[in-house]
Amino acid sequence: MIAPKTGKVNFVKLIYTKEYVNNPEVVLILAHGAGAPADSSFMEALASALEKEGIACVRFEFPYMVKRREDGKKRPPDRQPKLLECFSGVVDAVLKDVGPDSLVLIGGKSMGGRMATLLATEKKGIEGVACFGYPFHPPGKLDRWRTDHFKDVEAPVLIVQGTRDPFGKPDEVADHLGAQPGILLHWLEGGNHDFQPPVRLQKSQQGLIEEAAAETRRFIDENLNVRGR
């Protein structure tokens, strides 16, 4: 990690990977999940793997997580409007910082990815969305899908999901979602919500995170106008 170029957006500290420094070709603004901060081991590993694929990452924390860091008290996520307001402010700051020559995507882990898809239904300047472990529904509650807004997302969306993720497994998602235009799914064999596979598969969480990063690069190269920008 390096020191932020723009410091703070209101109350939000930004965390950049080194790839961000010199006019990055691709920037992914990466939001954390509901229970872990922007510098959790998963978020650190994901940002590092994405950077190795030439994707500069900007991480930040939602207001409730900032407060938790300050006083150590766990609290539930802010309401959706406040989360989206914060996310939107970060996007504005990054767009201003990098200028028109950089491709800017948004995304996140679990809840952060969901907020990214919601923000992409209403905010201009977002060219793609990448979600890692999307919370399609609460575990075991197939009557509470969080996908109604997908039809309103104009930017291409990549969702990288573990096949053992209780928030949405392959058969469940296929039956519910079908072939939705603009929504691309990549399944990580054996991964749970944190991309952790069982020991019997002889795979590692780091390996699946690297697969997720490589798939994100492929998604960008094949679906978005990157080269020659």
Span 29-53, pLDDT tens digits: 999 999 999 999 999 999 999 999 9
> Sheet containing 103-109: which strands, arranged edge to edge?
15-16, 56-60, 26-31, 103-109, 129-132, 157-162, 183-188
Q: Is residue 63 a part of any domain in this protein?
A: yes
Q: Which letter does DSSP use for residue 62 in this model? A: -
Better-predicted residue by pLDDT, 2 or 212: 212
Span 175-219, pLDDT tens digits: 999 878 899 999 999 999 999 999 999 999 999 999 999 999 999
Look at residue 56 and give its three-state secondary structure.
strand
Q: Is residue 2 a part of any domain in this protein?
A: no
Q: Is residue 41 a part of any domain in this protein?
A: yes
Span 42-87, pLDDT tens digits: 999 999 999 999 999 999 999 999 999 889 899 999 999 999 999 9
**What share of the chain has pLDDT > 70, as a percent?**
93
Maximum distance among all Cα pairs of the chain, rounded to whole angstroms: 47
pLDDT at 7: 46
- Residue that is written with structure tokens 């209101």 in the block: 10
What single-letter amino acid sits at 13?
Answer: K
Q: Is residue 228 a part of any domain in this protein?
A: no
Span 151-176, pLDDT tens digits: 999 899 999 999 999 999 999 999 99
pLDDT at 226: 64
Distance (Å, whole) CA 109 – CA 92: 20
What single-letter amino acid sits at 135?
Answer: P
Domain count, the chain: 1
pLDDT at 84: 97
Q: Is residue 203 a part of any domain in this protein?
A: yes
- For residue 132, what pLDDT band results from cuts at 50, 70 and 90? very high
**pLDDT value at 6 more than 60:** no
Which residue range(s) make up the domain with 110?
8-223
The CATH number of the domain holding residue 114 is 3.40.50.1820
Span 9-29, pLDDT tens digits: 555 788 999 888 877 999 999
Q: Is residue 22 a part of any domain in this protein?
A: yes
pLDDT at 109: 98
Q: Is residue 117 a part of any domain in this protein?
A: yes
pLDDT at 13: 80
**What share of the chain has pLDDT > 90, as a percent?**
81
pLDDT at 9: 52
Sign of the dihedral through C-alpha 50, 98, 81, 146? negative
User: What's the distance, Cα to Cα, between the start and end of the chain in Å?
Assistant: 26
Q: Is residue 3 a part of any domain in this protein?
A: no
